[in-house]
A = this chain, B = another copy of it.
Amino acid sequence: MKPVRLGLLGCGTVGGGVVRLLKTHAEYLARSVGAPLELARILVRDGDRDRVVPEVDRALLTGDAEVLLGDHSIDIIVEVMGGVDPARQYVERAMDSGRSVVTANKALLAKHGPDLVARAVQRRVDLAFEASVGGGIPVIRVLREALVGDSVVKLEGIVNGTCNYVLTRMRNEGLGFDEVVRDAQAKGYAEADPSLDVDGHDAAHKLVVLAMMAFGARIDGQTVPTEGIRGIDPIDHRFAERFGFVIKHLAIGRRTPSGLELRVHPALVREDTALANVNGVLNAIAIEGRALGPCLLSGRGAGDMPTAVSVVGDICDVARAKLSGVSGLATSGMSLRAGPVAPIDDVRGRYYLRFEVHDRPGVLARLAGGLGDAGVSIEQMVQEGGGGSTGVPVQIVMLTHEAVERDIRRALAEIKSSGVAARDAMLLRIQE
């Protein structure tokens, strides 16, 4: 049978993995697709020519994007070069010329996902992007296909491996944030500038893509309330443990009567849940379907080979569609609606509040009073330190009953202005 011809944009570590898998599993893939998959051309930067994996036929390499994009014998464009530009122009050009696209590009999807999906629908081509979120976790496929007959009520994800690695080691070894980040950088689990990860922006990018799939939402990532993990102290892990929780950095999406709630922040998760026990660089996404109920997917959120597995899965889907002559179904079902993200002030839940206070008479009354005045009631309280030399700060941790974040903020502002706390309170949301 006539092969399906692939053009590979980029041949770095993920691209190399794709080449390797296509070669190793060629026979099985051909059977499963209904035709052999043939690598037609590979775009590389000049400097990368010498680094391509030995499986690559060097005659396929080109440094000129025009050669690849202009070759109309190529059926599917596989974009594994990364970065927003020129990847975006290449992907758009491929779709405009009627070719389906597989991409592993998270930044591209987070920034231009809805526009690219709209373009794919318009051009009646497929746009597949499993590898852009959660590396080897098949969450896009599950949201698109397995849940096609259901609606997603809620999702919660550990979607940043760096954050999860740092929090896991802080908790297990009692280490501070800076120390673990330095070590993670040395091990290659964190970038030289870790802000994209530890400040939550990467997780917010992924949430934008997940929200598109789960809720049909067209979201500007800038509007998603986003907090990172810099402020978390080893002492917070200890207190959380004392109450039966683990601190995880979560991306959360939820339909509420007042609109879509999307947010990224650290949260307390009950220690006896599967999500709380997804550790180290592993990622996980918990989905709640109206009919399906709970569903958790976990695995490697990054890494060359897991990502390459997702890319190859997408290539097969798109190739089958191409062969059957009905491309574009994967995206045609999607109708994205723009809408506001619910303000974080409207979030309702339980809260963990840690106050560092001067050990003076009446302090606890002031804290409790501040919360009570705002209508926030306290479920549990624990104090650590104090009773000894004056001047040493005391840690007071309170778990609240369910409250609205607006009221919590009001109480914290009131407590701050009263001067009883040595520093700003630590606020962590409890994710039930």
Contacts and interface: CB of A to CB of B under 8 A. Distances in A.
A274 B284 CA distance: 10
A21 B291 contact: yes
How many copies of this chain does one complex carry?
2
Contact of A292 (B136, B145, B146): B136
A291 B306 contact: yes
Interface in A29-58: 29, 31-34
Contacts of A377: none
Q: How large is the interface on A (under 10, 10 to 19, 20 to 34, 35 or more residues)?
A: 35 or more
Given A21-B150, A142-B141, A326-B324, A294 B282 contact: yes
A292 B300 contact: yes
A145 B141 contact: yes
Contacts of A130: 146
Interface in A331-353: 332-333, 335
B332 A32 contact: yes
A76 to B, nearest CB: 14
A297 B300 contact: no
A323 B328 CA distance: 13
Contact of A293 (B142, B279, B306): B306
A316 B136 contact: no
Nearest to A321: B324
A228 interface: no
Contacts of A34: 326, 329, 332
Contact of A146 (B273, B309, B335): B309
B296 A292 contact: no
Given A277-B277, A326-B320, A25 B136 contact: no
Interface in A272-316: 272-279, 282, 284, 289, 291-300, 303, 305-306, 308-310, 312-313, 315-316
Nearest to A21: B149
A25 B137 CA distance: 26
A17 interface: yes
